Structure 1
């Protein structure tokens, strides 16, 4: 469930947008800033907060546009834009060798495993799964908006965009650990904290 914490601003945006997309963007911005402040107060490394900083940039820009032009055609593409931006954050975090899931995983894994190649590899795979899901969801949301599909389709796309990678995140680290242990003969007592 720690993985979902970073997406709270996006869920707030989705929920509050029914009252107006500008209010959803502002609420998402406030939620993102509050989470980042809480992380900083907890002493979490700012270098692994790409998701949080990217979220603030997105909602600040979206709020500015939405308040300046509440009737903008972009309003119809809010879901596609948000999923697309999340995809950009995820792909960029892999490209700069700081997969966004590492910041989340460090909340659950002991410090002695944070710099191991295995921990990094698991987080690259997890981040790639999220990035792929966000990319496909953004394209599907854009199609749903362009062709005027029923709102129910948009909601299902949005849910699938989060539920599928969340499910993968829940099962992949254990499977990867089991394969690693089998291949290397690593003792069970030292493998437990390699990733979460």
Structure 2
């Protein structure tokens, strides 16, 4: 699976997280709109375009809802949405990814672009994608929880930076490494466990 293609599909979440941190609280609707447009772009740029990538569809829906709420709510509600919605979006996306693992692990769509059709039904292919999608779902929930902790401790700047920036970046880097190494380990006989 190409990690760069996966990153493109997570770009809306990354950009939203950054914009939610740097824009004033009344900019959460703009952050959601930018992320929704990026998710739509990822949908349109993915090949094959059908079936659409699950992660891009989920991102488009979640960020469109945040954009609509952020652009229509009053100032006080907008500030709450910026603080808690901006942090909670990772939890929502992660839980949606986890809920879909038994039906269609989202990584399977990307893996099918690299693996011959004859291998799609193999137990190893299915297991690898269930493990990868589960790991990504858990990691994204952890990102959301980390951002919630950062939002609740924002008056302690150093702790807020650790939970709001350093830990999320570390989680993403570890997941990209795991996504690249896990299928290779399985292919060479070492099914291995979780992220490094």
Give the TM-score of the pair, scaled to structure 1.
Answer: 0.81
Contact 2:11 2:38 in 1 (8 A): yes
Q: How far does residue 79 in structure 1 lie from its aligned partner after superposition?
A: 4.2
Find the counterpart in structure 1 of residue 194 from structure 2: none
Q: How far does residue 180 in structure 1 lie from its aligned partner after superposition?
A: 6.9
The question of 1:27 aligning with 2:30 is answered: no
The number of aligned residues is 177
Unaligned residue ranges in structure 2 (runs of 5+) = 192-196
**Equivalent residue for 2:48, pick from 43, 47, 57:** 43
Contact 2:39 2:60 in 1 (8 A): yes
Unaligned residue ranges in structure 1 (runs of 5+) = 182-196
Q: How far does residue 61 in structure 1 lie from its aligned partner after superposition?
A: 0.5
Q: How far does residue 78 in structure 1 lie from its aligned partner after superposition?
A: 4.0
| 1:62-92 deviations in Å (ceiling 9; x for gaps) | 0011111253312112442121122112201
User: In 2 relative to 1, CA 161–21 (structure 1 residues): closer, same or farther, beyond 3 Å?
Assistant: farther
Matched ranges for 1:85-100 at <5 A: 85-95=92-102, 97-100=103-106
Structure 1 runs of 4+ aligned residues shifted over 6 Å read none
The question of 1:160 aligning with 2:184 is answered: no
SS at match of 1:43: coil
Contact 2:28 2:86 in 1 (8 A): no
Find the counterpart in structure 1 of residue 123 from structure 2: 117
SS at match of 1:7: helix
Give the TM-score of the pair, scaled to structure 2.
Answer: 0.81
SS at match of 1:98: coil
User: In 2 relative to 1, CA 12–135 (structure 1 residues): closer, same or farther, beyond 3 Å?
Assistant: closer
**Equivalent residue for 1:6, pick from 4, 9, 25:** 9
Q: What is the RMSD computed on CA atoms of the aligned residues?
A: 2.1
